[in-house]
A and B are shown apart, each in its own frame.
Chain A
Amino acid sequence: MKRAAPEPVQIVKQRRDAALAALVGGVPYMQFMGIGVERRGDELTATMKFDEKLIGNPFLPALHGGATAAFLEVTAIIEISWAMLWNDIESGAIDVEALVAGDLPRLPKTIDFTVDYLRSGLPRDAYARAKVIRAGRRYASVQVEAWQDNRDRLFAQATCHFLMPNRNDG
């Protein structure tokens, strides 16, 4: 049996990058927070660039717990949305032009979000990666970790649950 020839790399990349840009670019709060997302294959890494406005304790100084929580939550939402869209991005079923024009499908909604603060956030860039632990038809569970200088020294982690959009109503 002969396999179909794989699509040219630039076409695959263009579709993935356009889909990610549409997901990220459509969120004003991410721009406000200075959060960007990089992609390698399907793996996403979010970066929150340090800015004075993210400070919560000017005397230490340290990042605001709310900024850290928001960073983790943003990362988790992007990851679950990305995971939900991935198969359609790969198959080409997704209309990337519609995505880019801002016509996003309905995205998962946060049900709850639990954050553990492990050490204080330093006044520098922070990174986060999320992992979809289980994505069911109706609910999903996602874990997310954030670090700064050392990948193994997390400064915060979180667990989130999401309500998945109904796939039957378009």
Chain B
Amino acid sequence: MTPPNNKSAPMVDKATIARQFIEAIPYSKALGMVLTEIGDGLAEIVMDYNPALVGDPQTGVIHGGAISALMDTCGGAAVMSHADAPAGTATIDLRIDYMRGAIPGQAIRARAECYHITRSVAFVRAKAFDEDADNPVATASGAFTVERLK
């Protein structure tokens, strides 16, 4: 993900830029992702239940692939919102652990934190929940690139 070159934008607008950018991503839009919180290396994205994203029609549970996509987007958003991230980011690697199937009919909420950033690499942790905020559906950890402004 690389936002349009916007060197003149002040830092305060970073969250707004990130929000607009993420909500304009075709794949995030197709999955119905809505950014609900962003700033200081933290991001939260909600994805509504959608029958088109089901992996097992017998249970109606959302496919792991859709959860991965949510985790990836949320991780990228967290990196972009970090004060030390100059521009866009791309995923280097992402590991997702699945704790349980998300309850059919419930929205999935992912929260990602960019907990460390160097000049080249951003490190991210994320968790995804349905309406049960005490039992995560999945957790993730990943490394993302730190893109330089040209």
Interface residues of A (CB under 8 A from B): 26-29, 31-33, 52-60, 63-67, 69-71, 73-74, 77, 102, 104, 107, 109-117, 120
Interface secondary structure of B, over-half rule: mixed
- What residue in chain A is nearest B52 (Cβ atoms)? A32
B105 at the interface (CB under 8 A from A): no
Tell whether, in the assembled complex, residue A28 and residue B57 are in contact, meaning their CB atoms are under 8 Å apart: yes
Nearest-Cβ distance from residue A84 to partner chain B, whole angstroms: 15
Chain B contacts with A in 36-71, Cβ cutoff 8 A: 51-58, 62-66, 68-71
Q: How far, in whole Å, are A69 and B88 apart by their CA atoms in the complex?
A: 19
B107 at the interface (CB under 8 A from A): no
- What residue in chain A is nearest B75 (Cβ atoms)? A65
Interface residues of B (CB under 8 A from A): 1-2, 4, 24-31, 51-58, 62-66, 68-73, 76, 88, 90-98
Which residues of A lie under 8 Å from residue B93 when comparing CB positions? 114-117
Tell whether, in the assembled complex, residue B57 and residue A102 are in contact, meaning their CB atoms are under 8 Å apart: yes
Q: How far, in whole Å, are A111 and B29 apart by their CA atoms in the complex?
A: 27
Nearest-Cβ distance from residue B69 to partner chain A, whole angstroms: 3
Nearest-Cβ distance from residue A74 to partner chain B, whole angstroms: 5
Count of inter-chain pairs, beta carbons less than 8 A: 130
Given known pairs A114-B95, A116-B93, A120-B90, the reply for A69 and B65 (CB within 8 Å) is yes
Which residues of A lie under 8 Å from residue B30 when comparing CB positions? 53-54
- What residue in chain A is nearest B4 (Cβ atoms)? A59
Which residues of B lie under 8 Å from residue A102 when comparing CB positions? 57-58
Tell whether, in the assembled complex, residue B28 and residue A64 are in contact, meaning their CB atoms are under 8 Å apart: yes
Q: How far, in whole Å, are A78 and B93 apart by their CA atoms in the complex?
A: 22
Q: Which residue from B27, B53, B66, B98 sits with its C-beta under 8 Å from A110?
A: B98
